[in-house]
Each structure stands twice: as structure tokens, then as C-alpha cells.
């Protein structure tokens, strides 16, 4: 029973991270109607970037975010202006294939720069802290990471709902042509959105790299987990994505208890079953 | 009954037909005779090229004609290869005789997988098929009866001498490569091709005129799965050992996408041009390791941005002949006017 509770709790904490992975994917699907196949690889890029910043300046992972987030924003902005804006809106195929090519390029650049060895980020003393709660041991770092995930989801939800940026995003998402008519410069706005998505990726990358060692080829799996969280939760619904992420996280860890190699398999299986049972996602898109 | 306009073109004259057919037969004889005047290394390379061509053709049919972008097409490479290896090892049968079984197995798997996969559409379908491929990879990786991570050898191949083995695999690959081109051409000229092209041009319009949209798409999915499964089975007969990480590897789909994008999505000529370009680049640059893949990725990105129609679309309009006669033209228009409009002269 204790093991069950611990697995469940760990699954929830892992799932919250998947929800943050999915958040960026969900935004690009909602606002630009494109899926970024390189999404997972960019998470890995963020992790390596943090690792480089940490060792160059000699600071901790969270302090490094002060530099990593603006750098990721810049990278996203430039990538949208130079590359993605040329294919977005054409059809579903062009952005998909372009980002597929990007994914291969990123993986091989990382391999060339950092070799194929795995790396991890060190959280220092924080990593060893933990406490017992009702017989279940909880690490302080995973708990903080989960709190940060919830905070990121909450802040993004507030931004979409209550700011000028969010209003523009919803307008473009609902009807790009009309949004352009009323003065939204969608190409420039897309660059800001992609910059924002990349900043989210940077923060998710640190949370991810603190818990799991990463390597240049770790990206595609992150993409699949993000994708599952988004589709499971229902498009355009941030709290749906959170729920989807939690379901995948719990399924993976219980699957790994059944057979250590089959964790991700059970995550995928639950995704397929949920797809058959609820083709529209567990939550339909909310009216707002 | 559908009449593709190409049969009304003046190029269908008797003397021209004889010239085309004798050229084709001569070409086929030369290709079939390759094992007698080449090395094993050349044959192995040709097997790779022919099987990859069939996979790229299948990917291109799905994406270019069915609107089904499958990032996880490699699932059928693995399923086909494992079906062949497992049945041959279990039943101690000649693997060449079991190749049709591999195709049938892949097609059945596709039919079952269509149930969850076709709940998704567009980009979601694309990534969904990738999830499917990942699942099958993890499952075989954890199946001791299939050799788990180490995979399994094709035991029956030990019964044949080296020349027969190499030549036999080469002929099988030749059949797969040429066969999938012939099947693809026949499908595109037939009623399924007409249905698919109408869906590609406008799905709501096709639906409104009574085209069985989802049935056509599932038929194409199953057909392309059989082609890919067969190609995968032959590709692993060439290497004699199948492993989960290699056979269920995204690299298969990546190469197929590269070939289709470079050659031209939505044409039959595209994969032929693309396969030649792909293998030429690989022979020259593969030694550069990661830089080779970076270059390939950048080339694909540049193609998508600058010439989304691929190499085939860069040909000037009047040189863009239609060797496979799959293009459909309106009866009023001259044969030199390019149009992908479905033929109107079919008597239903």
C-alpha cells in the first residue's frame, strides 16, 4: 500500500512536468496551428544550454535560468522570423516536415558539440533533502519542481486569459484572418509566441534535467509525452493538458512497477485506450 | 469505369508503344542479370536502395495522395521484418516463400491500428503513428521470445550458399521495388486513385459527391503498410539479423521523408529522383558522421522553404513529362496544360 501511494505520488510529480512540456506544444498548436516535431529536442537543447551556463559562470541551475530564459526567448524569436514564418499557415505538412528536419539537425549538432554521453544537472544539497509524510518519503526537489510546474501552468493560464498578449493569442487562434483585419501583425506576433514557448521550454528543461540524465537523442521521447498530454487533455485547455500529463506520468510509473522496461509502453497504451474512449480528449475546449 | 486522359494522348501510337515496351523489357533484363556481373557489395547497396525506394514510395503515397503524414511509418518495417524472421525460424520454412506472409501480417496490423489511429487527423495522426512505432519497439525490446534487445538471426539463410543468398535477396528486392511502383501506378490510375485525388483537392467536396473518404484512406493505409512491411522484411533478409532498435528506428521514416521531400511529394517520379539523390549523397558524404546528418536536415529544410514541390517541380513546365500517365486532365484541355483535376469523362 505504501509503495502504491509512493508510486502514485511520484507519477503525479512526473506528470506535472509532462504537462509543462505539453504547454508549449499546446500553445503552438492553438495559436499557429502547427506541431513542432523538434519540441522535445529543444527541451534537450535547453538542458545543455543550462549545463553550459552553469559551468561557465559557476552558478546553480535556478540562477542559470536568469540567463537561459532570455536566450531561449531570443532563439525562438529568431527561429520564427527566419524559418517558421515561411511555412506556417501554408498547410499542416510543411511546418511538420520543416521541424522534422530541424529535429535531426539539432540532435546531430548536440552530438557533435557534447558527444553522445549522458549528462545531468546537479542541484547541490537540495537533491538529498527529503521528509516522511504518512509513511511515504517525499524528496524536496521533486516537490519544488512540481510546485514550479503548477506555477508555470497557472501563470500561462492567467496570461492567456487576462492580458493583451493573451487576447491577441485567442483572437489569432479563433480566426487568423479577422485578427489580421483588426490589426494583429500575425507574423511578428507569432515570433513573440514562439519566444514565449521557448522560454517555457527553457524552464521545463531545467526541471527535467534536474530529475533525469539527458543525452542528445532524448528529445523525441519528450515530444511524444508532451503530445500525449495535450491530446489526452483536449486541445486548447491548459488544465486538460495538466490532467493528461498526470495520467501519462502515473501510467508510466505504475507500468515500470509491472516490468521495469515497460514504463513508457504503459503510458502509450493508456494514451491509445483513452483515445478510443474519448476521441475529443478528456476535456473539450472550454468556451473562453 | 474511369478513363484517365493519358490514354487519349497521341503518344499512345503503336510504334511508340513498341519502343517503350522493348526499352522496359531490356531494362528489366539488365537489372535481373545484375548478380552475374557485379560484386556482393553492389548487390547489397542495390537491395538497400530498392527497399528504401519502396518505403519512400509508400510514405509519399500516404502523404502526397492520402493526406496521411505518417512519422511512424517505420513501425511496418519492424513488423514486416519480425513477422518474416519469427515465422521462418518457428516453422523452418524458406524465407522467400514467407515474404507474402510478412506483407499480409503488416497489412493486418495496419488494419487493426487504423482503429485508434484514424481517430486522429493531420499533424496528430502524424505523431500518433510515431507513438505506435515506439510502443512496438518497447514491446519487442521486452519480448524474450523475439530475442529481446539482441534480436534474432534468420536461421534458414544458413541453408543457402553465399551466391544464391545474395542473388535471391537482390531479386526479391527488385520485385519489391518494381512491384510497388507498378502497384502504385495501377492504384493511382484506378478508382481508388481518383477517390484519393478528389479527397486531396477538397475533402468536403469529395464527401459531398459520394466518395467513400475514410474507406479510401484506410485502403491506402493498409496497402502502404503491406508495401513497407515487405520492403522491411527484404531489407532484413539482407542483413540476416533483426533488432528492435534498428528495425523500429525513426531513421527509416527519416530517410523516406528525405527522399520524398527532395524528389517531390505527391508524384510517382519524386521518390525515384529522391532515392538516386539520397544514395549519391550518402556514398559521398556519409563519412562525415554527424555533419552528414546536419547537412541532410538542412537540405530538407531548405527544400521545404524554397521548393516545397521538390526536385521534380524545379523542371520547367514543358519538360515535366508524365511517364507514368497518372495525371488526370479535363477533356477540353490540351495535354500540355497541367492540371490535377479529376477526369470528367468517366461513365458511372
pLDDT at B75: 95
Res. A284 pLDDT band, cuts 50 70 90: low
Q: Residue B34: is its pLDDT beyond 90?
A: no
Q: From A273, which residue of chain B is nearest by alpha-carbon distance?
A: B116
Mean pLDDT, all residues of chain B: 84
Q: Which residues of A touch B296 (CB under 8 A)?
A: 104
Kindly state whether residue B325 falls inside one of the protein's structural domains: no
Q: Residue A128: is its pLDDT beyond 80?
A: no
Res. B318 pLDDT band, cuts 50 70 90: low
Q: Residue B3: is its pLDDT beyond 50?
A: no
Q: What is the pLDDT of residues A71-85, one digit of tens each?
A: 999 999 999 999 888
Kindly state whether residue B339 falls inside one of the protein's structural domains: no
Indicate yes or no: CB of A35 within 8 angstroms of CB of B123.
Answer: yes
Q: What is the dihedral of CA B167, B168, B172, B178, to 10 degrees?
A: 30
Q: What is the pLDDT of residues B81-119, one digit of tens each?
A: 999 999 998 888 888 989 999 999 999 999 999 988 888
What is the arithmetic mean of pLDDT over B129-152? 89
Residue predicted with more confidence, A124 or A86? A86
B65, B69, B122, B127, best to mutate vs chain A, most A CBs in 10 Å: B127
E-assigned strands of chain A?
130-133, 136-139
Is A194 in contact with A79 (CB distance < 8 Å)? yes
pLDDT at B329: 63
- Interface A–B counts its CB contacts (< 8 A) at 114
B124 has a chain A CB within 8 A of its CB: yes
Residue predicted with more confidence, B348 or A19? A19
For residues B5 and B137, give the distance between their C-alpha atoms in angstroms, rounded to a whole number: 45
Q: How many CB atoms lie within 10 A of CB B131?
A: 27
B246 has a chain A CB within 8 A of its CB: no
pLDDT at B6: 47
Mean pLDDT, all residues of chain A: 87
Q: From A82, which residue of chain B is nearest by alpha-carbon distance?
A: B305
Whole-angstrom CA distances from A142 to A162, A167, A235, B287 are 30, 33, 27, 43
What is the arithmetic mean of pLDDT over A46-52? 93
Where helices occur in chain B by DSSP H, the ranges are 14-32, 40-60, 74-91, 95-117, 122-141, 162-189, 191-201, 203-208, 213-239, 244-247, 250-263, 269-285, 290-306, 310-314
B148 has a chain A CB within 8 A of its CB: no
Q: Is the dihedral of CA A53, A59, A64, A67 positive or negative?
A: negative
pLDDT at B182: 92
- Whole-number percent of chain B with pLDDT over 70: 89
Res. B345 pLDDT band, cuts 50 70 90: very low
Q: From A106, which residue of chain B is nearest by alpha-carbon distance?
A: B294
Q: Which residues of A touch B201 (CB under 8 A)?
A: none
Number of domains into which chain B is organized: 1
Q: Residue B286: is its pLDDT beyond 60?
A: yes
Q: Of B69, B124, B308, which has the smallest distance from its Cβ to A231's Cβ?
A: B124
Q: Residue A40: is its pLDDT beyond 90?
A: yes
If you search the block for the grid coordinates 502515473, which residue do you land on? A250
pLDDT at B321: 66
pLDDT at A285: 52
pLDDT at B11: 53
Q: Residue B7: is its pLDDT beyond 50?
A: no
Kindly state whether residue B5 falls inside one of the protein's structural domains: no
For residues A141 and B289, give the distance between their C-alpha atoms in angstroms, rounded to a whole number: 39
Q: Which residues of B touch A38 (CB under 8 A)?
A: none
Q: What is the pLDDT of residues A164-197, one digit of tens each?
A: 888 888 888 888 778 888 877 778 888 999 999 9
Compute the nearest-CA separation of A222 from chain B (Å): 11
In the beta sheet, which residues pair with residue B25?
A: none
Residue predicted with more confidence, B110 or B34? B110
Q: Which residues of B touch A94 (CB under 8 A)?
A: 304, 308
Residues present in chain A in total: 288
Compute the nearest-CA separation of B346 from chain A (Å): 31
In the beta sheet, which residues pair with residue A136?
A: A133
Indicate yes or no: CB of A221 within 8 angstroms of CB of B134.
Answer: yes
Neighbour-count burial for A152-167, b at 16+ CB within 10 Å, e otherwise: bbeebbeebeeeeeee
Q: Which residues of B touch A272 (CB under 8 A)?
A: 116, 131-132, 135
- The conformational region for residue A185 under phi > 0 = left, psi -120 to 50 = alpha, else beta, is beta
Q: What is the pLDDT of residues B164-223, one digit of tens each?
A: 888 999 999 999 999 999 999 999 888 888 888 888 888 888 888 888 888 889 999 999
Q: Which residues of B touch A265 (CB under 8 A)?
A: 135, 138-139, 142
Residue predicted with more confidence, A237 or B85? B85
Q: Is the dihedral of CA B207, B212, B217, B220 positive or negative?
A: negative
B307 has a chain A CB within 8 A of its CB: no
What is the arithmetic mean of pLDDT over B51-64? 93
Task: Identify the domain containing residue B308 by its residue range.
Answer: 31-319
For residues B111 and A135, give the distance between their C-alpha atoms in angstroms, rounded to a whole number: 48
Kindly state whether residue B83 falls inside one of the protein's structural domains: yes
CATH classification of the domain holding B55: 1.10.3470
pLDDT at B316: 64
Q: What is the pLDDT of residues A200-217, one digit of tens each?
A: 999 999 999 988 899 999
Res. B267 pLDDT band, cuts 50 70 90: confident
Kindly state whether residue B332 falls inside one of the protein's structural domains: no
What is the ipTM, given to two decimal places? Answer: 0.88
Indicate yes or no: CB of B297 within 8 angstroms of CB of A279.
Answer: no
Amino acid at each position: 500500500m505504501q509503495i502504491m501511494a509512493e508510486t502514485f505520488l511520484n507519477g503525479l510529480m512526473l506528470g506535472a512536468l509532462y504537462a509543462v512540456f505539453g504547454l508549449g506544444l499546446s500553445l503552438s498548436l492553438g495559436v499557429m496551428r502547427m506541431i513542432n516535431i523538434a519540441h522535445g529536442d529543444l527541451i534537450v537543447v535547453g538542458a545543455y544550454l543550462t549545463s553550459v551556463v552553469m559551468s561557465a559562470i559557476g552558478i546553480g541551475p535556478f540562477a542559470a535560468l536568469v540567463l537561459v530564459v532570455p536566450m531561449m526567448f531570443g532563439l525562438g524569436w529568431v527561429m520564427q522570423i527566419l524559418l517558421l514564418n515561411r511555412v506556417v499557415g501554408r498547410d499542416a505538412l510543411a511546418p511538420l516536415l520543416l521541424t522534422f528536419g530541424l529535429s535531426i539537425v539539432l540532435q546531430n549538432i548536440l552530438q557533435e558539440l557534447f558527444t553522445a554521453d549522458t549528462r545531468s544537472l546537479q542541484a547541490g544539497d537540495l537533491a538529498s533533502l527529503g521528509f516522511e509524510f504518512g509513511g511515504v518519503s517525499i524528496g524536496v526537489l521533486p516537490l519544488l519542481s512540481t510546485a514550479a510546474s503548477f506555477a508555470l501552468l497557472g501563470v500561462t493560464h492567467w496570461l492567456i486569459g487576462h492580458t493583451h498578449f493573451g487576447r491577441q493569442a485567442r483572437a489569432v487562434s479563433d480566426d487568423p484572418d479577422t485578427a489580421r483585419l483588426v490589426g494583429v501583425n500575425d507574423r511578428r506576433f507569432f515570433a513573440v509566441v514562439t519566444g514565449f514557448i521557448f522560454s517555457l521550454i527553457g524552464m521545463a528543461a531545467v526541471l527535467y534535467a534536474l530529475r533525469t540524465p539527458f543525452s542528445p537523442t532524448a528529445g523525441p521521447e519528450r515530444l511524444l509525452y508532451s503530445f500525449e498530454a495535450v491530446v489526452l487533455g483536449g486541445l486548447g485547455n491548459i488544465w486538460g493538458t495538466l490532467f493528461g500529463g498526470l495520467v501519462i506520468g502515473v501510467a508510466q510509473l505504475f507500468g515500470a512497477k509491472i516490468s521495469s522496461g515497460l514504463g513508457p509502453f504503459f503510458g502509450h497504451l493508456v494514451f491509445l485506450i483513452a483515445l478510443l474512449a474519448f476521441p475529443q480528449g478528456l476535456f473539450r475546449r472550454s468556451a473562453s | 469505369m474511369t478513363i484517365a486522359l493519358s490514354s487519349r494522348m497521341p503518344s499512345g501510337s503503336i510504334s511508340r508503344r513498341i519502343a517503350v515496351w522493348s526499352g522496359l523489357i531490356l531494362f528489366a533484363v539488365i537489372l535481373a542479370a545484375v548478380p552475374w556481373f557485379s560484386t556482393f557489395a553492389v548487390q547489397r547497396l542495390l537491395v538497400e536502395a530498392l527497399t528504401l525506394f519502396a518505403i519512400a514510395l509508400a510514405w509519399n503515397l500516404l502523404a502526397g495522395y492520402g493526406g496521411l503524414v505518417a512519422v511512424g511509418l517505420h513501425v511496418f518495417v519492424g513488423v514486416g521484418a519480425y513477422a518474416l524472421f519469427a515465422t521462418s525460424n518457428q516453422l523452418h520454412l524458406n524465407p522467400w516463400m514467407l515474404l507474402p506472409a510478412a506483407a499480409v501480417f503488416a497489412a493486418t496490423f495496419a488494419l487493426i491500428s487504423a482503429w485508434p489511429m484514424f481517430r486522429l487527423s493531420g499533424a496528430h495522426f502524424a505523431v500518433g503513428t510515431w507513438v505506435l512505432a515506439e510502443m512496438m519497439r518497447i514491446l519487442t525490446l521486452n519480448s524474450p521470445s523475439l530475442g529481446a534487445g539482441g534480436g534474432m538471426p534468420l536461421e534458414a539463410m544458413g541453408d543457402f550458399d553465399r551466391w544464391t543468398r545474395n542473388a535471391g535477396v537482390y531479386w526479391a528486392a527488385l520485385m519489391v521495388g518494381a512491384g510497388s511502383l507498378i502497384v502504385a501506378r495501377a492504384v493511382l490510375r484506378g478508382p481508388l486513385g481518383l477517390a484519393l485525388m478528389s479527397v486531396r483537392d477538397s475533402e468536403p467536396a469529395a464527401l459531398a459527391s459520394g466518395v467513400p473518404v475514410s474507406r479510401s484512406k484506410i485502403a491506402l493505409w493498409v496497402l502502404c503498410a503491406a508495401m513497407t512491411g515487405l520492403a522491411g522484411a527484404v531489407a532484413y533478409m539482407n542483413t540476416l539479423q533483426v533488432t528492435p532498435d534498428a528495425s523500429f528506428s525513426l531513421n527509416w521514416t527519416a530517410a523516406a521523408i528525405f527522399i520524398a521531400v527532395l524528389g517531390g511529394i505527391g508524384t510517382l517520379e519524386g521518390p525515384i529522383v529522391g532515392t538516386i539523390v539520397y544514395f549519391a549523397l550518402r556514398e559521398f558524404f556519409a563519412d562525415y558522421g554527424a555533419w552528414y546528418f546536419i547537412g541532410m536536415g538542412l537540405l530538407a529544410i531548405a527544400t521545404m522553404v524554397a521548393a516545397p514541390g521538390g526536385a521534380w517541380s524545379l523542371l520547367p513546365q514543358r519538360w515535366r513529362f508524365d511517364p507514368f500517365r497518372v495525371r488526370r486532365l479535363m477533356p477540353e484541355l490540351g495535354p500540355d496544360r497541367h492540371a490535377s483535376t479529376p477526369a470528367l469523362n468517366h461513365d458511372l
